[in-house]
Amino acid sequence: MKKNNYLEYEKISNSQALLHSNPKGVIQFIGSFVFGSFPAWAYKHLFQFLFDQGYSIILYRFPLNPFEFDHWKVSLQLLKEQQIVKSEIIRKLKEKSKSSSVIEVYSKGKYLWLGHSLGCKYIILLEVLSNNSSRRNKILKECLGELNAEKILKKIDSEKLLNQNFILDQPSIFLAPEISNTVRLLKSGWRISNNCTDPNQRQTECLIRSSSETFNLTSIVSFNWDEIAEDDVSFLSEQFQNKYFQPPLFKELQGWHFEPLSLHVEDLGQLIVDLFEELKTRLLSKPI
C-alpha cells in the first residue's frame, strides 16, 4: 500500500480531491468540527484505505468557525461547491484526454456521501431538501414556521438551486452522526447543548421525521464507546427503520467517537466499502 505522503491531492475550488485513475465511484466527505477543517491530514489513514480500494475522494472542508451556527448556509454552500468541483474535474479530465469511461464516472455516475460527526448534519439537511418541491416546502413550514421556511427558500432561490434535485439518489453513510450539538456526560442525564444552531435540535428532528420519502439510501455506522453521538444515533436508527429498503443498514463497531481518525482503520474502511456496494445495488433496484 502506498504511503499517504505520496497521495496526490489536487486543490479544486475550495476543496481537495484524490482522483483515482480507474475509479469505481466518487466518495464526497465532510468531517467533524475542527478535524474536518483539515481532512487530508486528520483522516489520512481512512482515505488511504478507500483510495486503495478504487475510490476517488473529494474532501469538503468543515467551516473553521466556531460561531458559524447557520447550518442551512453551510449546507447550501456545500451543494454549490459540489457543482463547481464536479464541473472542474470533468474539465480537467477532458484537457488530459482521459477516456470517456473515466469521465462518465464523474459526469453521469452517482456520487456518494460520507460524513463524520457534525458533518453528517449538512448532508442530512441536503437530503431533507431533496424531497419534491411541494413536499419540501410543506416540511419546512411545518418544522421551521412560515417565516423561517420562507427565509430558507429565498436562500435556495438566491443560489439558483430551486431546479436542482439536491442530493436525491446519492447514497450516504453517516459515521457517528451528530445532529443536535448535544453531548451527554458520562451516561448521566446531564447534557451540554447549543441552542443557537439553525436548525436547532427540535427542528432538525422534525425535518428528519417528516421526510418519510427520503433517506432510503442511507446507512449509519456507530461506535460502542461513543457518548457524543449516542443519542443522535438512537434517534436516526429509529427513524430509518421503516424505509423502502430492508433490512436497514445500521452497523456498530468497537471504538469511540473519533475512531475514523485512528491509525488502524481497516475494519471501518472495509465496512464503508461493503456498505457503499450494497447501497449502490439498492439504488439500481429503486423504483422510479
What DSSP string runs through 215-272?
A: -TTEEEEEETT-SSSHHHHHHHHHHTTTSSSSS--EEEESS-TTGGGSS--HHHHHHH
182, 173 contact by CB (below 8 A):
no
- pLDDT band at 149, cuts 50/70/90? very high
Question: How many CB atoms lie under 10 A from the CB of residue 35?
Answer: 18
pLDDT digits (tens, 9 = 90+) for 193-245: 566 789 999 999 999 999 999 999 999 999 999 989 989 999 999 999 989 99
Structural domains of the chain sorted by starting position, each given as residue range(s) with its CATH number in brackets: 4-284 (3.40.50.1820)
Q: Is the pLDDT of residue 114 over 60?
A: yes
Strands 250-253 and 55-60: unpaired
Chain centroid to Cα 231, Å, comes to 19
Backbone phi and psi for residue 71, each to the nearest 5 degrees, phi listed first: -75, -20
- Taking the C-alpha atoms of residue 70 and residue 197, their distance in angstroms, rounded to an integer, is 6
- pLDDT band at 108, cuts 50/70/90? confident
Lowest mean pLDDT of 114-118, 137-141, 183-187, 279-283, name the range: 183-187
